[in-house]
């Protein structure tokens, strides 16, 4: 599994969890179920690939309040909860990789990957929207 495929699986899990996050005390079970669903046949997945997807999903969710604050500060007139679910989760995933992941990647790579995900899963305007928010976020972080 490539890193792009792992990000796609993480996005699918985050999307699912955003719409159905589970009841109090069941978040871990819901995360595991969402990751398994996104990965398909999880038992055939190499452990390192599954772990990378899990790290992306859990890391994004563990830092959700801080990530949403960064997005809100960078999206001006749009509230995070009013964003399209796909765009919101693509942006959250990229923000996690840029600012919170233990494995640091170049921000331009995270932004490019987010734009590609937005082209594939979002609307015609999603890629520009996600790119704009992440670009503004990078300016705010400098």
Write the pLDDT tens digit of every residue in 47-103.
888 899 999 999 999 999 999 999 998 887 778 888 999 999 999 999 999 999 998
How far apart CA 136 and CA 31 sit, in angstroms, is: 30
What is the pLDDT confidence band of residue 110, given thresholds at 50, 70 and 90?
very high
pLDDT per residue over 30-58, tens digit each? Answer: 888 888 888 885 556 678 888 999 999 99
pTM of the full structure: 0.90
C-beta pairs of 5-8 under 8 Å, 24+ apart in sequence: 6/49, 6/52, 6/53, 6/56, 7/56, 7/93, 7/113, 7/117, 8/117, 8/120
């Amino acid at each position: 599994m490539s890193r792009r495929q792992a990000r796609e699986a993480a996005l699918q899990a985050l999307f699912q969890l955003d719409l159905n996050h589970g009841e109090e005390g069941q978040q871990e079970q819901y995360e595991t179920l969402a990751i398994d669903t996104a990965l398909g046949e999880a038992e055939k997945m190499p452990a390192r690939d599954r772990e990378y997807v899990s790290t992306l999903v859990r890391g994004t969710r563990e830092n959700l309040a801080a990530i949403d604050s960064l997005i809100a500060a960078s999206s001006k007139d749009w509230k995070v909860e009013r964003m399209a679910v796909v765009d919101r989760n693509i942006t959250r995933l990229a923000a996690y990789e840029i600012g919170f992941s233990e494995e640091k990647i170049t921000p331009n790579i995270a932004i490019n990957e987010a734009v590609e995900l937005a082209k594939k899963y979002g609307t015609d305007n999603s890629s520009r929207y996600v790119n704009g928010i992440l670009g503004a976020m990078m300016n705010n972080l400098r």
